[in-house]
């Protein structure tokens, strides 16, 4: 599609998205059918000179899914999965839902429509229980009850879907095992790739660690990471994320976030910024004891920057990537793992950093996402 056509469709989609919450990608060549994608519409409103947000991989990924179908002769209607108003009227051959809309849409779809759940996070029941478990643990430790920030609505989406595909690892996919359906693994992409940090001062970096995540500080394990570093005053934790949007969390952890010399809080940060580059250059590893993800984009971005991941299985990173696992993390167990890591000889840390950086380059990129999703369309949906 040339520049003028791309501009036309972007502005057309700006209008339809504003009026009806829909976007459209035409089929390339002869039209073979229609596909409905319930995900996000914003990426389709960007003119050729406008860029995707650096805050999440989904903006590029959603558009890439539509383009892959378009290249195979299928027009795509895109709706926002959280809108809940769109009523399908076309004879769609495929419907892809990325969150909680499939149950609502299913009754309007033709019987021969192939219904797909694009897995972004673990099953909603396991996800909600994981957050509840973390909230209960804080209450037990400190006598304060924090609000759930990541609670998902119950749904029958996985039950109703004909196909499951998406992000995760064995731990994440196990939360869908009750449906007895194979899951086609799609590797999450990366917003940016970085050169390996050959000039990093590893001697200093072994005293600095990063926590980076989105909303839901308790589920993402920020509380236990903070508590771990309080008892390790000689080691530093750099915190990047929209923490201050969660007032109850900030109130409960005000001392750790604002008054502890070895804990540095930055707020939400652009992965493409010099500030992020400077922070990761200071650090040797990522500490991210999350209780629930699909595949964590934050972890993937960190390992692309050469940080060694000290993470839980629930972050959804593939088991063969070489991460350092946090099993049933507590402040004490995190502190021990971090301390043990900081005592590893520099050459071994540098080698581990390189291997995980290389793994990210080989497995978690836009290229690998696109190739995997193309295989899903061609081999599983059989829409060559």
Burial (0-12, 13-18, 19+ Cβ within 10 Å), 187: buried
Domain extent, residue 71, equals: 3-123+151-189+365-380
Q: What are phi and psi of 128, to 5 degrees?
A: -65, -40
In a domain, 179, yes or no: yes
Q: Are 135 and 182 in contact (CB under 8 A)?
A: no
**Quick one: pLDDT at residue 337?**
98
| Global confidence as pTM | 0.95
* Sequence-distant (≥ 6) Cβ neighbours of residue 252 within 8 angstroms: 138, 142, 144, 146, 223
Do 224 and 328 have their domain in common?
A: yes
Do 315 and 374 have their domain in common?
A: no
Distances (CA, A) of 306 to 148, 210, 282, 287, 356: 32, 12, 11, 13, 7
Do 262 and 163 have their domain in common?
A: no
Q: What are phi and psi of 97, to 5 degrees?
A: -120, 135
Q: pLDDT tens-digit profile of 206-217?
A: 999 999 999 999
CA 156, CA 136: separation in Å to the nearest integer?
Answer: 27
Q: pLDDT tens-digit profile of 307-355?
A: 999 999 999 999 999 999 999 999 999 999 999 999 999 999 999 999 9
Tokens of 366: 């836009």
- Three-state secondary-structure class, residue 182: coil
Do 11 and 156 have their domain in common?
A: yes
DSSP string, 293-361: -BS-HHHHHHHHTTPEEEE-GGG---GGG-PEE-SS--HHHHHHHHHHHHTS-HHHHHHHHHHHHHHHH
Q: Does pLDDT of 32 surpass 90?
A: yes
User: Model confidence at 384, in pLDDT bands (50, 70, 90)?
Assistant: low
Do 237 and 170 have their domain in common?
A: no
**Quick one: pLDDT at residue 84?**
87
CA–chain centroid gap for 348, Å, is 29
Burial (0-12, 13-18, 19+ Cβ within 10 Å), 2: exposed
Q: Are 35 and 92 in contact (CB under 8 A)?
A: yes
**Quick one: pLDDT at residue 100?**
84
Q: Does pLDDT of 52 surpass 90?
A: no
CA 303, CA 55: separation in Å to the nearest integer?
Answer: 16
Q: Are 166 and 117 in contact (CB under 8 A)?
A: yes
* Number of folded domains that form the chain: 2
Find the largest Cα–Cα distance for the chain: 65
Positive or negative, the Cα torsion across 250, 269, 127, 41?
positive
Identify each DSSP E strand in 121-228 by its residue range.
163-166, 183-185, 208-212
Do 184 and 215 have their domain in common?
A: no
Do 245 and 375 have their domain in common?
A: no
In a domain, 23, yes or no: yes
Do 270 and 370 have their domain in common?
A: no
Q: What is the mean pLDDT of the chain?
A: 96
CA 135, CA 150: separation in Å to the nearest integer?
Answer: 11
Give the closest residue to 283 by CA, choosing from 309, 259, 260, 256.
309
**Quick one: pLDDT at residue 286?**
99
Give the closest residue to 120 by CA, choosing from 369, 384, 378, 375.
369
CATH number for the domain including 165? 3.40.50
List residues bridging with 324 in a β-sheet: 310
Give the closest residue to 24 by CA, choosing from 96, 61, 81, 75.
75
CA 163, CA 33: separation in Å to the nearest integer?
Answer: 19
CATH number for the domain including 225? 3.40.50.2000
Do 173 and 211 have their domain in common?
A: no
Instruction: Give mean pLDDT, residues 94-105.
Output: 94
């Amino acid at each position: 599609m040339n520049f003028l056509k791309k501009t036309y469709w972007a502005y057309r989609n700006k209008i339809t998205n504003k009026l009806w919450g829909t976007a459209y990608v035409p089929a390339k060549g002869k039209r073979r059918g229609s596909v409905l994608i319930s995900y996000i519409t914003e990426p389709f409103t960007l003119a050729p000179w406008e860029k995707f947000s650096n805050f999440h991989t989904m903006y590029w990924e959603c558009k890439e899914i539509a383009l892959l179908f378009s290249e195979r002769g299928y027009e795509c209607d895109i709706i926002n999965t959280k809108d809940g108003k769109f009523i399908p009227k076309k004879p769609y051959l495929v419907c892809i839902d990325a969150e909680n809309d499939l149950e609502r849409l299913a009754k309007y779809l033709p019987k021969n429509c192939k219904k797909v759940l694009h897995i972004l996070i673990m099953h909603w029941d396991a996800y909600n229980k994981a957050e509840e478990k973390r909230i209960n643990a804080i209450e037990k430790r400190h006598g304060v009850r924090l609000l759930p920030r990541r609670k998902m609505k119950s749904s029958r989406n996985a039950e109703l879907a004909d196909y499951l595909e998406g992000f995760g690892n064995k731990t994440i996919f196990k939360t869908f095992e009750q449906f007895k359906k194979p899951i086609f693994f799609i590797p999450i992409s990366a917003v940016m790739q970085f050169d390996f940090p050959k000039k990093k001062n590893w001697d200093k970096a072994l005293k600095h660690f990063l926590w980076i995540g989105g909303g839901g500080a308790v589920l993402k394990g920020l509380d236990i990471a903070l508590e771990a570093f309080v008892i390790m005053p000689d080691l530093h934790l750099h915190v990047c994320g929209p923490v201050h949007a969660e007032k109850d969390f900030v109130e409960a952890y005000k001392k750790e976030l604002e008054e502890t010399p070895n804990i540095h809080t930055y707020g939400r940060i652009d992965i493409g910024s010099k500030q992020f580059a400077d922070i990761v250059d200071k650090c040797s590893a990522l500490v991210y004891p999350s209780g629930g993800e699909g595949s964590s984009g934050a972890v993937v971005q960190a390992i692309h920057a050469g940080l060694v991941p000290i993470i839980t299985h629930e972050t959804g990173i593939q088991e063969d990537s070489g991460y350092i696992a946090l099993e049933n993390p507590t402040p004490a167990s995190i502190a021990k793992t971090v301390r043990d890591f900081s005592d590893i000889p520099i050459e071994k840390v540098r080698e581990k950093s390189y291997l995980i950086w290389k793994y990210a380059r080989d497995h978690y990129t836009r290229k690998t996402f696109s190739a995997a999703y193309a295989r899903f369309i061609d081999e599983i949906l059989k829409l060559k």
